[in-house]
Chain A
Amino acid sequence: MNRVVPGFALSLGITLFYLSLIVLLPLAALVWQATDIGWSRYLAILTGARTFAAFEVTLTTAALATLFNAVYGLALAWVLVRYEFPGRRLLDALVDVPFALPTAVAGIALSALFAKNGWFGGPLAGLGIEVAYTPIGIAVAMAFTSIPFVVRTVQPVLEDFAADVEEAAATLGASDLRIFARVIFPAIFPAFLTGASLGFARSLGEFGAIIFIAGNRPMKTEVVSLLTFIRIEEYDYPAAAAIAATLLGLAFVMLFVVNMIQLWQQRRIGTGD
């Protein structure tokens, strides 16, 4: 406890008061509304065909988006850390575009790109691939908004990775691929998993980027966040509360997963080396 520097009570007081008012009170109200509807009705809402389909669509497209970002994000982080080339700094700055660009803007931009006469939609239609108004479109939007997660979690770990470890492996005659698989990847794996989990969590709740490209057909291309929104517009508050509370529960599960990964990582660093 630091007893020299002043302002502990004041700063902690402000922080707790503000968090209670702005974050905890609304979330408590949501949980209160959800518990108010009763267990059997809650289950009935969640297992209703349309809600169930929305969760199914959301989880599968989020998994697809995460898979894409796991590969692309890892490659991007690798290229940014390991190679020097003209435009590297610009590339590094571009990674943050999905965080800085409003989701609604990303949404209309992606739907313009993948429209029938769009830059991507035209050529893809020629190949018989439809993206707009299909689950693939949802996955594209989710992938776009969560690109930075894997890159930004893997990048610092890869930067700190000691060169002598892989040099040792190389002097022992291991091939590049083998060194990557057996030495480098295990070292960055916890960070990689953290980034992928964060991206997945973000995709589960994504709304703005998706609704413009998804087509939003119930049972087919309707995501959970949109269904929540629709229930609110229909004044069906119990259903909105039940779905939103479930989504909140999923967010907490993902947070727990990320924390477990980080704990595991710290323990590994503590005992390793």
Chain B
Amino acid sequence: MASEPTSTPQPQVPAPLLPDPLLTDPLASGAPGANHAPRRIRVGDGPATRRVMIAVVLVVTLLALVAPLAAIFAEAFRQGIAAYTASFASSDTQYAIWLTVLTALIVVPINIGFGIAAAWCIAKFAFPGRNLLVALVELPFSISPIIAGVSYLFVYGAQGLLGPFLEAHDIKIMFAVPGIILASLFVTAPFVARELIPLMIAQGSEEEEAAVTLGASGWRILRLVTLPNVRFALLYGAALCNARVMGEFGAVSIVSGNIRGQTNTLPLQIELLYQDNNAVAAFAVATILTGVALVTLVAKAIIERLDAARERTAGRPGH
């Protein structure tokens, strides 16, 4: 094996195979980069394979991902802009918007706090059961929202574990706003933690340790050292958490009881309007949540860009 020809005329430095997408204008790509370095022989680099693969993937993506998005807006504006805006006039829909925003305003900060706490103990310390804890943090991702809703019913519902106690003290959690908030907390618990844990593990604890030797308190370290280092991941986790809270359907539809104007969040209101054969209104309301989703994805793209730019200026390896 040692006698293999090692002197093929290729650059020893593994030059980037793709022109750096963050530095090149995506519209101007195609011209630079690929032509500079001597061509590497790589699988699927033939012009025919390349074209067919890109074309097939683009067509399927157009059908599978773009068409549903386009359909939402096409249906919402089917009867014109006036019908679209009129869809938001109903007091039930306005209440649903308010309830959804309220839920997000409560759930997102709580899960940011949980995410920071979980990431702090998991990333900065080694302890027995740490892997189990990571698995536990991510558990809600693997569990159907329907299971989450049913489980909460068995805790706080009339026949649940705490049912008799809650009834005796006249505390209403199921089929009321607290139930919606609890179910949303369950479903979105991992979002911030999952973004922070790998990043904080990768960054290590040197900076925090230095801060300790300089006499900084734990809170000060968190505020001035750790959080600034992970702010993009934190923002992205929070944005995803927010989108998911606002759009949660399965868990919320079990614990809310679907009471019009009282426990209907936006996704439940969409279902209600759709079952009422009011498709235009259903899709109009859906455009709000689609907007939230699209803003979240744009935020992700921007944050990834900033993160990569920061890593570059910090001189860290790009992996």
**Are A100 and B72 in contact, with the CB atoms below 8 A?**
no
Interface residue tally of chain A, by bracket? 35 or more
On whether A86 and B67 interact (CB within 8 A), knowing A29-B161, A180-B44, A205-B146, the answer reads no
Interface residue tally of chain B, by bracket? 35 or more
**Which chain B residue has the least Cβ–Cβ distance from A95?**
B65
**Are B150 and A240 in contact, with the CB atoms below 8 A?**
yes
**Are A229 and B146 in contact, with the CB atoms below 8 A?**
yes
On whether A248 and B143 interact (CB within 8 A), knowing A11-B121, A27-B151, the answer reads yes
Neighbouring A residues of B140 by C-beta, 8 Å: 23
Alpha-carbon distance A174/B250, docked complex (angstroms): 50
Which of B50, B68, B296 is A106 in contact with, Cβ under 8 Å? B68
On whether A19 and B137 interact (CB within 8 A), knowing A86-B27, A108-B274, A225-B146, the answer reads yes
In the assembled complex, B293 has its CB within 8 A of some CB on chain A? yes
Alpha-carbon distance A241/B160, docked complex (angstroms): 11
**Which chain A residue has the least Cβ–Cβ distance from B126?**
A1
Neighbouring B residues of A101 by C-beta, 8 Å: 68-69, 247, 289-290, 293
Interface flags for A79-115 (1: CB within 8 Å of B; 0: not) read 1001111111101011111111111111011101100
Alpha-carbon distance A86/B271, docked complex (angstroms): 38
In the assembled complex, B118 has its CB within 8 A of some CB on chain A? yes
**Are B143 and A251 in contact, with the CB atoms below 8 A?**
yes
**Which chain B residue has the least Cβ–Cβ distance from A99?**
B240
**Which chain A residue has the least Cβ–Cβ distance from B14?**
A163
Which of B61, B71, B222, B271 is A94 in contact with, Cβ under 8 Å? B61
On whether A93 and B300 interact (CB within 8 A), knowing A12-B121, A83-B54, the answer reads yes
**Are A166 and B124 in contact, with the CB atoms below 8 A?**
no
**Are B293 and A100 in contact, with the CB atoms below 8 A?**
yes
**Which chain A residue has the least Cβ–Cβ distance from B8?**
A171
**Are B120 and A7 in contact, with the CB atoms below 8 A?**
yes
On whether A244 and B147 interact (CB within 8 A), knowing A8-B125, A91-B58, A232-B254, the answer reads yes
Identify which of residues 133-175 in chain A touch chain B, using a CB-to-CB cut-off of 8 Å.
143-144, 147, 160, 163, 166-168, 170-171
Number of A-B contacts (CB under 8 A): 313
Interface flags for A233-257 (1: CB within 8 Å of B; 0: not) read 0000100110010011001101100
**Are B249 and A207 in contact, with the CB atoms below 8 A?**
yes
Q: What's the dominant secondary structure at chain B's contact region?
A: helix
**Are A82 and B44 in contact, with the CB atoms below 8 A?**
yes
Alpha-carbon distance A32/B154, docked complex (angstroms): 9
Neighbouring A residues of B160 by C-beta, 8 Å: 29
In the assembled complex, B317 has its CB within 8 A of some CB on chain A? no
Alpha-carbon distance A14/B271, docked complex (angstroms): 36
In the assembled complex, A228 has its CB within 8 A of some CB on chain B? yes
**Which chain B residue has the least Cβ–Cβ distance from A69?**
B64
On whether A108 and B254 interact (CB within 8 A), knowing A119-B71, A167-B42, A180-B43, the answer reads no
On whether A5 and B297 interact (CB within 8 A), knowing A85-B29, A112-B71, A212-B274, the answer reads no
Interface flags for B120-142 (1: CB within 8 Å of A; 0: not) read 11101111000001011101101
Interface flags for B140-176 (1: CB within 8 Å of A; 0: not) read 1011111111111111000111000000000000000
**Are B67 and A119 in contact, with the CB atoms below 8 A?**
yes
How far does the Cβ of B171 sit from chain A's closest Cβ, in whole Å?
A: 16
In the assembled complex, B75 has its CB within 8 A of some CB on chain A? yes
Interface flags for A199-236 (1: CB within 8 Å of B; 0: not) read 00100111110001000000000000100110010000
How far does the Cβ of B242 sit from chain A's closest Cβ, in whole Å?
A: 10
In the assembled complex, A43 has its CB within 8 A of some CB on chain B? no
Measuring CB to CB, which residues of chain A are less than 8 angstroms from any residue of chain B? Answer: 1-2, 4-8, 10-12, 14-16, 18-19, 22-27, 29-30, 32-33, 72, 75-76, 78-79, 82-89, 91, 93-106, 108-110, 112-113, 118-120, 143-144, 147, 160, 163, 166-168, 170-171, 176, 179-180, 184, 201, 204-208, 212, 225, 228-229, 232, 237, 240-241, 244, 247-248, 251-252, 254-255, 259
Identify the 10 closest CB pairs spanning chains A and B, nearest first: A205-B144, A102-B247, A26-B151, A208-B249, A100-B293, A207-B250, A11-B121, A6-B218, A29-B154, A109-B68
A–B complex contacts, Cβ < 8 Å, 30 sampled = A2-B205, A7-B120, A7-B218, A12-B125, A15-B114, A23-B136, A23-B139, A23-B140, A25-B155, A26-B186, A29-B160, A30-B150, A79-B53, A79-B54, A93-B301, A100-B243, A100-B294, A102-B243, A102-B246, A102-B247, A104-B286, A109-B68, A119-B67, A207-B144, A207-B250, A228-B150, A229-B146, A232-B153, A252-B142, A255-B142
